[in-house]
Amino acid sequence: MAVKSICICSTQVPFNWGGAELLVGALRQALASRGYDTDVISIPFKWYPKEEIITHALAWRLIDIEESNGRPIDMVIATKFPSYMVRHSKKVVWLVQQFRQAYDLFGTPYGDLGSTKDDQRIREMIHDMDNNSLNEADKIFAISNNVRERLLSHNGIDSDVLYPPPKDRDYRCDGYGDYILSVGRLESLKRTSLLIEAVARVREARCTIVGVGPEEAKLRELTRDLEVEDRVRFTGYVDDATLVGLYANCLGVFYAPYDEDLGLVPVEAFKSKKPVITTSDSGGVLEWVLDGRNGAVTEPNPENIADGIASLYKSSERAAKLGEDGWLKVKDVTWDTVVDTLLQ
């Protein structure tokens, strides 16, 4: 039977919007533009108190989405935890991320689960639910090799890598301006503070920071402490046209989260022919950024990042060459490939 109707299953933290949500929206648009009747099923997710993690995961097991109002749903595409808990006779998983606090972030400053008996039990339950629900899938794809390796290492489950393109925007390059661009949610894992500290070390450097999040007040305070308020601009949320313009005119892009699943910002930067500065522990970002070829990969400290930034300011011609090589790396990452692969 040919697939006609598709539901994308997505987790949503109310009032939070980031890369995963952009991916789901872009996938819906890509499927709909190719004639598939597509909708998104989203259930709010809450991870505190910790027992809520299990409750919200089980909610996906309890819903029936084989049909809706008497009409069959031919296929579901599940994304990040816990949406892939959903039951369906034709379930494909395009894995954005698991609940990392139960896996690679366990025991780190970025994880909330500790060594108490209750926390250990919650962690074990997450592992069991992941193993059972992911093994139900007809096919599993991962958005990056980094995500694939985590799943294989922790759960013994293999998957194929299927890179997502960014949102379909008219990316362009208008030149190489006088600022470094940062795009992303302002939270501790994204480490925007490293950029601000690096800018403080490069006299001619300026940066524009796009995004909102819980770290914004701390980051603004940091700019005051370092006396770089006149060289660091916070824009908050911007619309697509403004974002494309910021990419088009920046000198380069900074994106150095801690062990990121993948990160679409480097792809957006490369589609705008801009080099990317990242760090050696940024995870999936390193599947895009190659040191000295389309950007700079430094150690995760302000001093080394400052060196990477300074090198771009020394030569806009070099920045252009790195950006051009970045564009060559991502020019064939398209939604046509994604749709064909998911529905094969």
**Model-wide pTM > 0.95:** no
237-247 mean pLDDT: 97
Strand order in the sheet with 252-254: 232-236, 207-210, 180-183, 252-254, 276-279, 295-298
Q: Encode burial over 187-200: b for 16+ CB neighbours within 10 A, e otherwise.
A: beebbbbbbbbbbb
Q: Is the pLDDT of residue 235 over 80?
A: yes
Mean pLDDT over each residue of the chain, to the nearest integer: 94
> How far is residue 6's CA from residue 124's CA, in Å, rounded to a whole number?
32
103-127 pLDDT per residue, tens: 999 988 878 888 899 999 999 999 9
Return d(Cα 144, Cα 318) in angstroms, integer. Answer: 28
Q: What is the model's pLDDT at position 1?
A: 60
**Would you place residue 266 in the very low, low, confident or very high pLDDT band (cuts 50, 70, 90)?**
very high
Length of the chain: 344
Task: Report percent pLDDT > 90 for the chain.
Answer: 85
The reported pLDDT for the residue numbered 18 is 73
Spatial distance between the Cα atoms of 251 and 208, rounded to a whole number of angstroms: 11
- Report helix, strand or coil for 227: coil
Q: Which CATH superfamily is domain 5-162 in?
A: Glycogen Phosphorylase B; (3.40.50.2000)
Q: Where are the alpha helices (DSSP H) in 103-215?
A: 117-134, 145-155, 192-199
| Helix, coil or strand: residue 165 | coil
Q: How far is CA 209 from CA 16, 77, 82, 328, in A?
A: 18, 33, 31, 26
pLDDT at 201 over 70: yes
Specify the pLDDT at position 168.
Answer: 79
pLDDT in tens, 121-179: 999 999 999 999 999 999 999 999 999 999 999 999 999 999 999 887 899 999 999 99
Task: In the chain, list all ranges with CATH 3.40.50.2000.
Answer: 5-162, 180-330
pLDDT tens column, 210-230: 999 999 999 999 999 999 999
* Residue 75, CA distances (Å) to 159, 190, 251 in order: 19, 34, 43
Residue 16 predicted with pLDDT over 80: no
The arithmetic mean of pLDDT across residues 88-100, rounded, is: 96
Question: Which class is domain 180-330?
Answer: alpha beta
> Percent of the chain having pLDDT more than 70?
100
DSSP state of 260: B
pLDDT band at 22; cut points 50, 70, 90: confident
Please tell me the predicted confidence (pLDDT) of residue 114.
84
Mean pLDDT is lowest, of 4-8, 44-48, 253-257, 303-307, for: 44-48
Of 283, 277, 280, the residue nearest 97 (C-alpha): 283
The CA distance from 156 to 144, in Å, is 17
Which residue type occupies 233? R
169 vs 16, more confident = 169
